[in-house]
Structure 1
Amino acid sequence: MWDRLFVDCHAVTMVHANGNPMGVQRDAAIGVQDGRIVRVGKRTELAGFRAAEVVPLNGAWVTPGLIDCHTHLVFGGNRSAEHAMRRAGASYEDIARAGGGIVSTVAATRASGATDLIASARKRLHALMAGGCTTVEIKSGYGLDPASEIRMLNTARALGNSEAVRIVPTLLALHALPADYAARRDEYVDQVIDELIPAVARLKLATAVDAFCETIAFTPAETDRLFDAATAHGLKVKLHAEQLSNSGGAALAAKYDALSADHLEHVDEDGIAAMADAGTIAVLLPGAFYALQETRKPPVDLLRAYGVRMAIATDCNPGTSPLLSPTLAMNMAATLFGLTPDECLAGMTINAARALGIDADVGSLAPGKAADLCAWDIADPAELAYWIGLPGPVRRVVAGRDA
């Protein structure tokens, strides 16, 4: 006997079959046992199976639980004052001179007590969960010293242990250069490589290492050193690449078989070709594009032409993407970047799972996978990328249980 049988629903399984790329199954039923999916099929096909609980979904559309594969969810304070300054005409340099920018977030994060840090992150996490997320990646990166970065990762772990959501922690090892290392860049990179990465690997606090490879952040050579160290310690890599300029970050990420390269507004064809060869996922972040009022879009047509899979994420962070709605991120990807509704849903399910290296466990509705799913009160799955301000799912299920 199964634990649960979800009936009276339609399913978007995200399993390509028989010319049906989204794996749409009308009049579906989904069997769950021990937190895992055991069968997905037509209700008539599963009519002979018994379950301890039969759950009618009243004609809802069921999708895999949404996956936000790029967030900076743990930080102290916020930067709403900077938003007001930008609206009044202040430049990035003006804000930095006034003590704003990432420096202010680093200071607020270091000053936050453990209780405050987890409480503020929990509020943001709850918003993503209410929007349909069952898996959320959380990066460090606002500590800028080993102890503070480890504290951020421990906060992410605590959230995962106390909430009905899967947390995937990422060490954003090279995010910004601390002010006290302005004249000692090599020393800072050495500290990250020699102290931080070994400690995080030993404590198993993260599954991947990230960096911000950009003219205002870290060079390809510094990123190359970082990725050498990460892979030597058994950690996967991913990269903030080509957001503001083309630094060759996408090709560098592909060289290390990176899980993903994220942003990509300025990526060129060589970088895309390298990503295609490596199977690196392109993570598109329309929230940052919107908040920064950028005009150069990621080359979506070229990504399609090379067969590079595209994921979508909120990039929730205090400075450049204060976005807390996964479905709004999907709408932005459709409206601003031209993705189709099908691409948007794949971008926050199966392709987002691939961007985190967890697609064997989540991201689609298939036998053997975790029973993470959302039931939506919609008439068609395209509505998920259509509505602006769509309410969350009517039912969110994690490991087979209502959450």
Structure 2
Amino acid sequence: MDLLIENARLVTMQNGEQGYLPTPLARVGIQSGKIVAISTCANGEDSQQVEALLSAKQYPQTIDLQGKMMMPGLIDSHTHLIYAGNRANEFEMRLNGVPYQDIAKQGGGILSTVNATRAATQEQLVELALPRLDGLLASGVTSIEVKSGYGLTRQDEIKMLRAAKALEQERKVKITTTLLAAHALPPEYNDRSDDYITHVCETIIPLVAEEKLATSVDVFCESIGFNLAQTQRVFEAAKQHGLNVKGHTEQLSNLGGTALTAQYNGLSADHIEYLDEAGVIALSKSATIATLLPGAFYFLRESQLPPIELLRKHQVPMAIATDINPGTSPFADLTLMMNMACTLFRLTPQEALRGVTQHAAQALGYGDSRGVIAVGFDADFSIWDIEHPADLSYQIGAKRLLGRIVNGDYVSHKGL
């Protein structure tokens, strides 16, 4: 339904400092899910074309925000939202001094999630994901990337991707899917990692591309994951089948995965705690976004900080995401990640907000349609009862979200 929004203080997140500052009271016209006109007191509302588009008579629905703040819908650009099983017991065991190796021997760790996910039906995976999804939506999220990676067979990876896509039928949200079959080595391929990568490249990727179940392919390029040569094989296969690439890179060591991701024009390189200046320069020469995942850094009690100053020096855009997963980042609140990025990584609140709007959209390949408020972009907003954009990074837990607009459809979270 077409919609007219009145009396909104807009935080457009367009380039520059001005995009971070709330506008005077504005009117926004939405038709067919797109922004068709924006008018504020600042521009004098002197354009007849703008006024014609904003004529209330053309809009079957009008919402008066009464001076509340509206900004782009928040975007969580890195999640593992679909999985089965619960690893809270492992969390408790670790805090009681049980080594991870012993937990793994008892059937814990990532393989416990793999076994539980394989045993679950697609419908069960959807039901299990909904509470986590609702947590993200309550923090202002309108767009979410969801990875596979806990199936590790063709059948189960496909099941995960289909479950992720089914979430759009359950909630007002945009879901972007990513194949992460190269997440861990499944037990069936123990000591045969090259054979598994062949299976991913020759069997799983072609089917995912044919059935249009994902737009990107990701790889965990790490000493406990897959090496650089194996990562390159996956990237080659993805490109051959018309899929974008992304990388879990430099989380635990510096293998050069970020530079490789940039070489293949990847959408994003994620984690990057151990990234060096050569890797940052590689990012700066590409359109690849650096994605920070402070939840995993916090939960694992890491000490190696991502190279924030180098990223700033070389003007590499930074996205922020939850990395929500059962083992290393069990957090379903993107504003909490903004706070962590500021307190742990020393980002500014403006950098944090860009990291979950403009730069997060770029990390998912739709920087020309989401992440900022501008004519021609998707009508995708979050509406807040706050005084300043920095409030989103500053205070956690208070119920400040009033509503979301997804593809032009309004969803109330608190009422206006």
TM-score, normalising length: structure 1:
0.96
Aligned with 1:136: secondary structure? strand
The residue that corresponds to 1:230 in the other structure is 238
- CA offsets 1:242-270 (integer angstroms, 9 cap, x no match): 00111111111111011000001000000
SS in 2 for 1:381: coil
SS of equivalent to 1:58: coil
- Retained in 1: the 8 A contact 2:386–2:400? no
Q: Please list, as runs of the form range in 1=range in 2, the aligned pairs for 1:53-92 lying within 5 A after superposition.
A: 53-92=61-100
1:240 pairs, out of 236, 241, 248, with 248
Task: Read off the aligned partner of 2:26 and give its amino acid letter.
Answer: A
Structure 2 unaligned residues grouped into runs of 5+: 412-416
User: 1:15 corresponds to which residue?
Assistant: 14
State whether structure 2 residue 138 is matched by structure 1 residue 130: yes
2:30 corresponds to:
32
SS in 1 for 2:269: strand
Q: SS state of the match for residue 141, structure 1?
A: coil
Distance, in Å, in 1 between the alignment partners of 2:293 and 2:374 is 27
Q: Distance in 2 between matches of 1:91 and 1:242?
A: 24
Whole-angstrom distance in 2 between the partners of 1:66 and 1:54: 23
Match of 2:338 among 311, 330, 341: 330
Partner Cα separation in structure 2 for residue 16 and residue 225 of structure 1: 36
Q: What amino acid is the match of 1:351? A: H
Taking the aligned partners of 2:94 and 2:397, their CA distance within structure 1 comes to 24
Rounded to whole Å, the distance in 1 between the matches of 2:275 and 2:398 is: 32
User: Partner residue of 1:141?
Assistant: 149
- Spell out, residue by residue over 1:93-145, the C-alpha distance to the aligned partner (whole angstroms, 9 max, x if none): 22212211100000000011222111001221111111111000000000001
Matched with 1:266 is 274
- Partner amino acid, structure 1, of 2:302: E
Q: What SS does structure 2 have at the residue aligned with 1:59?
A: coil
1:366, 1:40 → 2: CA distance?
Answer: 8
Where do 1:171-210 residues align within 5 Å?
A: 171-210=179-218
Q: Which amino acid aligns with 1:215?
A: S
Secondary structure in structure 1 of the residue aligned to 2:20: coil
Match of 1:3 in 2: 2
Any residues of structure 2 matched to 1:275-294 within 5 Å, and which?
275-294=283-302
Deviation at 1:360, TM superposition (A): 1.5
Q: Answer with 226-235 or 392-401: which moved more.
A: 392-401
Query: How many Å separate the matches in 1 of 2:403 and 2:214?
Result: 30
Contact 2:122 2:162 in 1 (8 A): no
Are the counterparts in 2 of residues 212 and 218 from structure 1 also a CA contact under 8 Å? yes
* Alignment TM-score, normalising by the size of structure 2: 0.94
Structure 1, unpaired ranges of 5+: none
- What letter matches 1:169 in structure 2? T
1:91 and 1:305 mapped to 2: Cα distance? Answer: 40
**In the aligned structure 2, how far is the partner of 1:3 from the partner of 1:159?**
24
Q: Given the alignment, which residue of 312, 315, 319 partners 1:304?
A: 312
State the distance in 1 between where 2:380 and 2:92 align: 39
Kept in 1, the 8 Å contact 2:22–2:69? The answer is no
Task: Report the CA distance between 1:195 and its aligned residue.
Answer: 0.2
Q: Equivalents in 1 of 2:405, 2:298: separation in Å?
A: 31
Q: What is the percentage of aligned positions where both structures have the same residue?
A: 50
Q: Structure 2 residue aligned with 1:158, among 160, 166, 178? A: 166
> Over aligned residues, Cα RMSD in angstroms?
1.5
Q: CA deviation at 1:6?
A: 1.3
Which letter maps to 1:4? L
CA contact (8 A) 2:33 2:409 kept: yes
Within 1, Cα distance between the matches of 2:68 and 2:254? Answer: 44
TM-superposed CA distance for 1:180, in Å, is 2.1
Q: What is the SS of the residue equivalent to 1:148? A: helix
SS of residue matched to 2:70: strand
**Number of equivalent positions:** 401
TM-superposed CA distance for 1:26, in Å, is 2.2
Separation (CA, whole Å) in 2 of partners of 1:297 and 1:385: 19
Q: Which residue of 1 aligns with 2:414?
A: none
Q: CA deviation at 1:91?
A: 2.6
Residues 276, 308 of structure 1: 8 Å contact kept: yes
For residue 39 of structure 2, the aligned residue among 35, 41, 53 is: 41
